[in-house]
Structures are given as structure tokens and as C-alpha cells.
Amino acid sequence: MDDASIQQALRQTDDLLRLRNYSRRTRDAYQNCLRAYLRHKDASAQVCSPENVGAFLMALYDRGAASQTVTLHFHAIRFYYRDVLGQTVHIPWKTPKRPQRLPVILSRDEVEHLLSVVKNKKHYLVLALSYGAGLRVSEAISLHVGDIDLDELVVTIRQSKGRKDRRTVLPEKLKNDLRSLIAGRESHEYLFESNRGGKLHERSAQKLFDDSLKSSGIKKDASFHSLRHSFATHLLENGVDVRYVQELLGHANIRTTQIYTHLTNPALKNIKSPL
């Protein structure tokens, strides 16, 4: 397929995604998936062939792509044919079941130790607030000064995953440091600006966590998202109802939140090995 046809298909898809208020992240992901598909030797920009789509998806599997990646390609291709071109589409593809992996959790002592090695005050607040409020990395770097309510100890996350606003708790321990950080600043400014001004890059925040983890000597295969996992787990350990934890995390389905209950089962922790 020629590049002009591919570019036209990508423009049409992105226009419709924007009209439907899809996030920039989703739009970029769909563009990348659709571009890969349309460059496939049997792909057509005009007519959907279920057999060709299936062959493309199986080729992704054969190259070692994760089930989530293959599923994302499937949704992008279906969106193009069904929603952009208006075709009646039946692709006999069953979304593969995701492997059930427990999230990597840091203990309370490990979180405290991780934060203790961070000497830069702004860097400390990025990690401490992400843990203390249960934030995704994208949410932490997107916070504005006006999203922080020090009097009510509330953080407002605007238009996050699922294009929804939500509110979560602000740790009282960080109140004075945050007050100093936002003093004299306008509400529209990013809370954690980069050194060059403007929004802190997501990769920079992730590297900050990785460097802090390495400095702490903690050997777990943790990521920035482990701070959010740990927030949820520690709340449940404190006896907070799982429905409140769901609301603080912004999960649409409580089953997503309930995975943390597998990590907080006191009966399991009390069982001693027979060895």
C-alpha cells in the first residue's frame, strides 16, 4: 500500500478520535497500530478482510508481542473499518486473556527508605505525593498548582484515564513542603515543572524513580507504578473499605481494585510452612 493511502487513513482515524475526545495517548497508540497494519502486505485501506486481519494479528503473536499489544492492534483496526469507514465488521477474534500477575509492592519500610535517599526536594515531592495520593506517573506530572487543596488535604486529578476527574487524599505530612513549592505561583502552572520550564516529562519522572530505587539498594523489580500499588495495598491493610480505595484510585471496575486484596490476606500471612 502506498504512503499516501496510509497517511489519509491515519488522518481520517485521528480526526474521528479527536471528535470523540479520545486522549492523546490513545490517539497515538491507535495511529501506531493502524500504521503497522496498513503496511502489512495483505492489508487494505478500503475493505476489511477478516482473514487478513487475523493473519496480521497472528504474525504479531509469532514475533513475541504481548497479548495486550495484540489486543490494542485489534481495537485500532476495528475502529478504522467500523467507525471511520462505516463498514459492517465481523472479525472472529477473541480477546486473549491477560496473564494474572500480582503487582510489585513496596513495604512501608521500603517506601520510607526509598524516599529517604532522595535529596532534591522537588524530586522527593514527586515520589512522595505519588505514593501518598496513589497517582499514576502521568497524573503526577500533569498536576497544576490549583489542583492542590492544602486546607482540605485533597488532590484533584483532572481528565485522567477514562477522561474522568477524581479526587484523592493529600498526605498531611507533605503539607508544609507543598505550601513552599506553590508559594507565589499561579494556579494554572504545573506543580512539578521541568528544569527548562513547562511540564515534567514522563520519562524523567520514571528515571527519577529508577535512580532512587537503585540508590536505596532495594532489589525488587519495582517501577514508578509500584508507588500506586503500594498506596492501595497499605490502605487495605489499614482497614479501608475496598470501595473507597476503588474511588481514590479511579478504577471503573472494582475487580481491578480487588487484586490488592490478594496481597493483604491476613489468614494467608499467618500460615506457617510445614518445613
Active site residues: 136, 161, 225, 228, 251, 260
3-state secondary structure the chain: CCHHHHHHHHHHHHHHHHHCCCCHHHHHHHHHHHHHHHCCCCCCCCCCCHHHHHHHHHHHHHCCCCHHHHHHHHHHHHHHHHHHCCCCCCCCCCCCCCCCCCCCCCCHHHHHHHHHCCCCHHHHHHHHHHHHHCCCHHHHHHCEHHHEECCCCEEEECCCCCCCCEEEECCHHHHHHHHHHHCCCCCCCECCECCCCCECCHHHHHHHHHHHHHHHCCCCCCCCHHHHHHHHHHHHHCCCCHHHHHHHHCCCCHHHHHHHHHHCCHHHHCCCCCC
Alpha-carbon distance of 192 to 185, in angstroms, equals 12
Contact 190, 198 (CB under 8 A): yes
List of residues 6+ apart from 271 with CB closer than 8 A: none
Alpha-carbon distance of 262 to 134, in angstroms, equals 18
Alpha-carbon distance of 227 to 68, in angstroms, equals 22
Alpha-carbon distance of 192 to 120, in angstroms, equals 12
